[in-house]
Amino acid sequence: MDFQLKPHSVIPPTDKPVLVCILDGWGENLGDQYNAVHVAPTPCTDALKEDKSRWRTVKAHGTAVGLPSDADMGNSEVGHNALGSGQVIDQGARLVDIALETGQMFEGDGWTYISESFAENTVHFIGLLSDGGVHSRLDQVQAILKGAAERGAKRIRVHILTDGRDVPDGSSKRFVAELEAGLAALSGVDAKIASGGGRMKVTMDRYEADWAMVQRGWEAHVLGEAPHRFQDAATAVRTLRGDEAKPISDQWLPPFVIVDSDDKPVGTVEDGDAVVLFNFRADRMVEISKAFEYEEFSAFDRKRFPKTRFVGMMQYDGDLKLPARFLVPPPAIHGTSGEYLAKNGITTFACSETQKFGHVTFFWNGNRSGFFDEKLETYVEIPSDNIPFNEKPEMKAREITEAGKEALLSGKYRMVRINYANPDMVGHTGDLDAAVFACKLVDECVADLLDTLNSVGGRFLLTADHGNADDMVQRHKKTNEALLDDAGRPLALTSHTLAPVPVAIGGAGLPDGVRLRQDLPNAGLANITGACINLLGYEVPSHMEPSLIE
């Protein structure tokens, strides 16, 4: 690959900073009272929208970002992969579908490796029990379980993480029933659910925000230790949710273990067992992978470290080669903008708070945890709080803004990349008022950043990775009206949306007459990369999608 960037024919290279600002979970959607982006006073982003030659929307979901179908909502992994690479690449969900369709799932090295445990040992499956398609999909899990049974697995245990975040809260009950039915249909196999807990409480931490989550998961899945013990998963989920009029959300269910009639856990992980993490998405599988794979490990006391045949659905980290063995090769993302910038000596500053830190670094760089050139890249992580974010919807937006301003003023960076987590993380709580607060605050922070950017004569591109806060209510499929619960309250929507996202360019250093193309009706997030490279003063490399700039 020729990494030399060529000067742009119209936009001169600049030594002033180019700010790329991502509002995580900020979609352009129907303007009603359940759209927090619309309800919040947002004078700064509203003003950007006024200049139609420098504002438009692009697709952030479905096939435009490499997902299997246009019914798939976007998410941070595929969104930042596209934003950072300028390419539409078949993503994990799609690659697993293909591996199942072609049968390659059952022919690779990863499968051969786990199949050595089929006859004499237990095969454990751990992951998010959901059809959300963001981290995992239940239909894929069912197909793999069936495939294992048909190929000789004798004892299967599934460790479930309940969702309620990419899918409606309460759906865990239906997914447990579906999984139980699937397990019961595996003839001649002793197959059971063995442990579980809510995805925001157990196992699925990311970016080392809270290792205690992973420890709780390890204790439940591996050691069979948890504060709650039940004889079946349906009872576990129903009981732990509590009063359905005011339930504990699926996301936050405490860890539990399934026990037999002698109160003995039905599925601890033992030497010789195989362990499969069935999530295809990387961020929330990295820590648990380290716990299973690394001999040397100090994040928490594992108490017991069984020798397992351990695989991921994918390889989650390309730099760490983690895990070493996997069922499906991950998306091959090469020639990212980060690599181009580094190879052309362009200095970069990237910053977010913990919850989104890997989004603007790891995902942006094609699921690589390292640097392309440490001398040229500065990555700053502002530690996130470990609380439900509707309790403190300001999160770390102000601190991120201060760090961004300092980077802009320092004169050290030609690219400054910022992600604001609030519209997404608060949107996932389903709390409309908190989401409105989050959007208002983020708009103020953007205004503040843009003032600083203009004061140094920089250029900017503002966008988002997918929708979320732009719709906070579940809706009737045909009429689009809000769905209400038995007490007449709107049913919260905690997931992302299918909405397109805004793109705005500008800044005191952007030459007059630079405009966004208004054609390309199917443009998606991958078309934004070229625009960012243009703002730096260079032409878009030919393997990337066409730029949005005219």
Ligand X SMILES: O=C(O)[C@H](O)COP(=O)(O)O
76 is in an annotated binding site: yes
φ, ψ for residue 10 (rounded to 5)? -120, -40
Q: Toward ligand X, which CB reaches closer, 61 or 405? A: 61
CA distances from 104 to 123, 145, 435 (A): 19, 15, 43
Give the total of residues touching Mn ion (CB under 5 A): 4
Return the structure tokens found at 301: 């006391």
For ligand X, which residue of 169, 250, 353, 424 counts as binding (CB under 6 A)? 424
Q: What is the DSSP letter of 254?
A: P
For ligand X, which residue of 29, 35, 76, 122 counts as binding (CB under 6 A)? 76
The CB-of-208 to Mn ion minimum distance in angstroms stands at 18
The per-type count for the chain, helices as H runs and strands as E runs, is 16, 14
List, in sequence order, every residue forming a beta bridge with 459; answer none if it has no partner: 18
Is 390 an interacting residue with respect to Mn ion (CB under 5 A)? no
The CB-of-84 to ligand X minimum distance in angstroms stands at 14
Return the structure tokens found at 200: 């925001």
The CB-of-366 to ligand X minimum distance in angstroms stands at 16
The CB-of-495 to ligand X minimum distance in angstroms stands at 8
Return the structure tokens found at 311: 């695989």
Contact mark string toward Mn ion, 62..91, x via CB under 5 A: --------------x---------------
- Residues with a catalytic annotation lie at 76
For ligand X, which residue of 36, 64, 114, 134 counts as binding (CB under 6 A)? 134
Contact mark string toward ligand X, 142..171, x via CB under 6 A: -----------------------xx-----
Do the Cβ atoms of 395 and 441 come closer than 8 Å?
Answer: no
What part of residues 15-34 is at the interface with Mn ion (CB under 5 A)?
Answer: 24
Return the structure tokens found at 303: 């108490």
Out of ligand X, Mn ion, none, which partner does residue 166 contact, by CB within 5 to 8 A per kind?
ligand X
69 is in an annotated binding site: no
For ligand X, which residue of 29, 35, 42, 75 counts as binding (CB under 6 A)? 75
For Mn ion, which residue of 353, 465, 471, 545 counts as binding (CB under 5 A)? 465
Give the pairing of strands 256-258 and 228-230.
Answer: parallel
Do the Cβ atoms of 26 and 37 come closer than 8 Å?
Answer: yes
What part of residues 315-354 is at the interface with ligand X (CB under 6 A)?
Answer: none
80 is in an annotated binding site: no
Q: Toward ligand X, which CB reaches closer, 166 or 287? A: 166
Q: Which of 354, 339, 292 has the alpha carbon at shortest distance from 159?
A: 292
The CB-of-228 to ligand X minimum distance in angstroms stands at 24
496 is in an annotated binding site: yes
Q: Toward Mn ion, which CB reaches closer, 236 or 395? A: 395
Give per-residue burial for 269-306: e unless 16+ CB within 10 Å, then b: beeebbbbbbbbbbbbbbbbbbbbbeeeeebeebeeeb
As a whole number of angstroms, the distance between CA 330 and CA 398 comes to: 36
Do the Cβ atoms of 234 and 180 come closer than 8 Å?
Answer: yes
70 is in an annotated binding site: no
φ, ψ for residue 115 (rounded to 5)? -65, -15
Q: Which of 141, 38, 58, 30 has the alpha carbon at shortest distance from 96?
A: 141
List, in sequence order, every residue forming a beta bridge with 463; answer none if it has no partner: 22
As a whole number of angstroms, the distance between CA 122 and CA 153 comes to: 8
CA distances from 253 to 108, 137, 172, 358, 492 (A): 35, 20, 10, 25, 18
Q: Toward Mn ion, which CB reaches closer, 166 or 443? A: 166
Report the Cα 100 to chain-centroid distance in Å. Answer: 23
Give the total of residues touching ligand X (CB under 6 A): 11
- The continuous run of DSSP H or E covering 417 comes out as strand 415-420
Q: Using CA of residue 435, residue 436, residue 438, residue 439, what is the dihedral sign?
A: positive
216 is in an annotated binding site: no
Return the structure tokens found at 314: 């994918």
Contact mark string toward ligand X, 427..456, x via CB under 6 A: -x----------------------------
CB proximity list for 102: less than 8 A, separation 6 or greater: none
Contact mark string toward ligand X, 258..297, x via CB under 6 A: --------------------------x-------------
The CB-of-130 to ligand X minimum distance in angstroms stands at 9
Q: Using CB atoms, what's the residue nearest to ligand X?
A: 76
The CB-of-296 to Mn ion minimum distance in angstroms stands at 32
CA distances from 405 to 84, 259, 375, 379 (A): 22, 54, 21, 14
414 is in an annotated binding site: no
Q: What is the dihedral of CA 401, 402, 405, 407, to 10 degrees?
A: -110
Q: Toward Mn ion, which CB reaches closer, 179 or 350? A: 350
Is 424 an interacting residue with respect to Mn ion (CB under 5 A)? yes
Q: Using CB atoms, what's the residue nearest to Mn ion?
A: 76
The CB-of-475 to ligand X minimum distance in angstroms stands at 20
DSSP notation for 129-175: E-S-SSS--HHHHHHHHHHHHHTT--EEEEEEEE-SSSS-TTTHHHH
List, in sequence order, every residue forming a beta bridge with 192; answer none if it has no partner: 157
Respond yes or no on whether the N-terminal peptide bond of residue 323 is cis (omega within 30° of 0).
Answer: yes
Q: Toward ligand X, which CB reaches closer, 401 or 494? A: 494
The CB-of-493 to ligand X minimum distance in angstroms stands at 13
Q: Toward Mn ion, which CB reaches closer, 392 or 543? A: 392
C-beta atoms surrounding 3 within 10 Å: 12
281 is in an annotated binding site: yes
Is 201 an interacting residue with respect to ligand X (CB under 6 A)? no
Enumerate binding residues for Mn ion (CB under 5 A).
Answer: 24, 76, 424, 465
Q: Which residues are annotated as a binding site for substrate?
A: 135, 165-166, 199, 206, 281-284, 356
Enumerate binding residues for ligand X (CB under 6 A).
Answer: 24-25, 75-76, 134-135, 165-166, 284, 424, 428
Q: Which residues are annotated as a binding site for Mn(2+)?
A: 24, 76, 424, 428, 465-466, 496
Q: Which residues are annotated as a binding site?
A: 24, 76, 135, 165-166, 199, 206, 281-284, 356, 424, 428, 465-466, 496
